[in-house]
Structure 1
């Protein structure tokens, strides 16, 4: 009888501890949905519309570059002479031209474009806006080609970094290491040999796993980041194991001691 009481008390404690532990571990999501988190963030970013305050660099080219000069008023004649029809090699800050000709989206979502006048960007992606501008230019230019990019270029860093979030790269030129540096580098729990990078290529979402411990990464197409890339740093197994240790373990042990002590008292009483 006495042994049964002690056994019941211990079993009750173990059951309580087991339930609490399962409750804690069931809430862990490390690596369970990392891919989906990164893909969702990539989709949201890549299909996001032009925002107020965005800075657009726009270059119009055609077979006869003299015809497009009125539509490139922010460029000098010598600067335009360096471009050919269909050029996409747009200047970045610190390169020629010395002052990058940008169109800043105003509070109403407009930019003031040469000859054409106000153009509204509200609710439009970069791709849609570029196509619309190109169509408008056909009224003045034979087979115009529009090259466009954001100078407030963005990448997103999530997961085991010190400061996860979205970061603007002013010159549109960044490596994975630059992005991780902006995010405060990996935490001690970040997996350096299994970083997920999600990129949109021609409307298709692609994923790549990157090992920062391998020097061959410098030759990878993912070393240099592209607009709207999403980086997800996964948690190491060490953190998962640490997280599974219930912080209230010491409390449970104390409770167990109390239960066993009470069981001992009851046993003594029953003996009398």
Structure 2
């Protein structure tokens, strides 16, 4: 009987410990990003990893080969004074670094074309940086032996607004940005940011679309909004506590202090009058 009582007591203690452990783990997971990432297949998101080129995009394209004299006619003359500032990913808690970039710049016109030296107009519709490099390499083989083409998108902009540490517009390197990398540049969400309802607004050919993203679930990496497009806007909604604080007059504390002083003076005057 005694042994049975001891076993029941031990089982009770183990049960309590297990319950506390499970409860504490569950509470902690609520603020983690992508808590079920191990259950999500990433293959479906690979096809969206490169953004297609859009009118207004600016590209730096350089051509090289063993004989650099041969490639000179295919490299557009440019001024080194004309630069665009991009932002690199911050390390640890440091601020993102601004990196000036310059080179032969080509603009995508409204018909999705660029004008390339010696070749003329080249369509970039439905092309991304990698496929454009392949296309240019193929075209240049008619003039150059073993050409090497380097291309970069230099004005890829996204805006991050709302409850983040550093809201603003960022120019991202190479046009290869994800929702998480953009939030990282903005210093991540504040403690007041709603992680289950991040809004992404997109404008493609004048048509606006939007999607709400739940950062606590890894499923969002399969969304077409995980890989960002040119001029995407990310908005992090404030939680109820932040909204409640925003509705409070910032001078409320001052009013209370003044009222307290007046009340003290009135009480003092009444006390003197009674005496």
Higher relative contact order (CA 8 A, sep 6+): 1
TM-score by length of 1: 0.47
TM-score by length of 2: 0.47
